[in-house]
Amino acid sequence: MEYALQVKDLSKIFGQQRALQQVSFNVKKGEIFGFLGPSGSGKTTTVKILTGQLLQTAGDVNILGKPASKMKDADLGKIGILTDNSGLYERMTVKDNLEFYAKLYRTPTERVEEVLKQVGLADEKKKQVKKLSKGMKQRILLARAVLHKPEVLFLDEPTSALDPANVQKMHELLLDLNKEGTTIFLTTHNMEEAAQLCDRVAFLHEGQIRELNSPKALQHQYAKKTIHIELKDGRLETVGNDAAGAEKIYQYMQTDQLLTVHSDQPTLGDIFIEVTGRKLA
Ligand SMILES: Nc1ncnc2c1ncn2[C@@H]1O[C@H](COP(=O)(O)OP(=O)(O)OP(=O)(O)O)[C@@H](O)[C@H]1O
């Protein structure tokens, strides 16, 4: 198995504050991995350590096989980062902003046109950044993060300030990048986003991982063992998700009384509450 990220027993203490406690997980190459947790749970601290911006107190963090703390320029070129501390030059045009960063990353400036098309901003390239909407600015930041074609892309709450249409657009872009082979590490407190995008998710609570699996496997694991049925005469019944329940449903079908059948499928949000005892947002 080839891993993009390997994290073992990662801890971070700020003064008296334990931000992360023995966090361990691996991210496979080509995966979209979701790191989910409420405010203050340690998501940004993790991203900062993974991207070499902050040193851990203890534990091992490897990116593409090398320790994060020892990344050199050539290694940094393999990662892209999108966080909310923008760094865009508001008075410069979209194109000039990206060309500035292309030069900084030693990427051919022709790549700017390519990413602008990819994020749907080719028509906006001559506009000043300050004249663009929040959703557009976020797409410029994504364009900037992928200018140098990183192998691993880190996104810290990429959609938290966006409206539903822009969230959808962002999701499509991320799925496209992933299809091209980019590994994505995403922090979010949006459970629907995680369920829609992520191959696997980790639930972070008070600096510790409390669950880690694919959204489907978690939904299966935490599924309620009941099925709700509605009969044609309006009666509602709940039966067990077992042989006796199946027999009852079968009888209602045979006598043509059955209208609808619903299983209790928990959302990721329901599961997070069950696991941690608290809501995400
Ligand atoms: N530089 C710092 N100095 C002291 N404490 C810090 C520092 N950075 C983070 N912390 C603390 O570490 C804990 C985790 O913070 P972190 O920013 O990683 O959480 P988060 O999950 O990203 O939250 P949010 O969703 O609000 O961004 C919090 O209790 C926070 O107050």
For ligand 1, pick from 14, 189, 280 the residue to mutate: most ligand atoms within 8 Å of CB.
14
Residue closest by Cα to atom 2 of ligand 1: 14
84 close to ligand 1 (CB < 6 Angstrom): no
Distance CA 205, CA 222 (A): 18
Which pLDDT tens digit goes with each residue over 70-121?
877 777 788 998 887 667 888 999 999 999 988 888 888 888 998 898 888 8
Architecture of the 3-215 domain: 3-Layer(aba) Sandwich (3.40)
Task: Assess whether the C-beta atom of 250 lies below 6 angstroms from ligand 1.
Answer: no
For ligand 1, is residue 200 a contact (CB within 6 Å)?
Answer: no
State the pLDDT at residue 58. 96
How many A from CA of 175 to the centre of ligand 1?
28
pLDDT of residue 71: 78
Q: Determine the pLDDT at residue 7.
A: 97
What is the pLDDT at residue 166? 80
Q: What are the pLDDT tens digits along the chain (281 aa)?
A: 799 999 999 999 999 899 999 999 999 999 999 999 988 899 999 999 999 889 999 999 999 998 888 877 777 788 998 887 667 888 999 999 999 988 888 888 888 998 898 888 889 889 999 998 888 888 888 888 888 889 999 999 888 878 888 888 889 989 998 999 999 999 998 888 999 999 999 999 999 999 999 999 999 898 878 889 999 999 999 998 889 999 999 999 999 999 999 887 888 998 999 888 876 66
User: Is the CB of 44 inside a 6 Å radius of any atom of ligand 1?
Assistant: yes
The pLDDT tens digits of the residues spanning 116-146 come to: 988 888 898 899 999 988 888 888 888 888 8
Q: How far is the CA of 44 from the centre of ligand 1 (A)?
A: 7
pLDDT at 262: 87
For atom 4 of ligand 1, the residue with the nearest CA is 14
Q: Whose CA is nearest to atom 25 of ligand 1?
A: 39
ipTM of the complex, rounded to two decimals:
0.95
pLDDT of amino acid 175:
94
To test the pocket of ligand 1, the residue of 45, 57, 203, 279 to mutate (highest count of ligand atoms within 8 Å of its CB) is 45
- With 0-12 CB in 10 A as exposed, 13-18 as middle and 19+ as buried, what is 4? buried
From the alpha carbon of 47, which atom of ligand 1 is closest?
18
Q: Where are the domains of the chain?
A: 3-215, 224-264
pTM over 0.90: no
Whether 21 is in the pocket of ligand 1, judged by its Cβ within 6 Å, is no
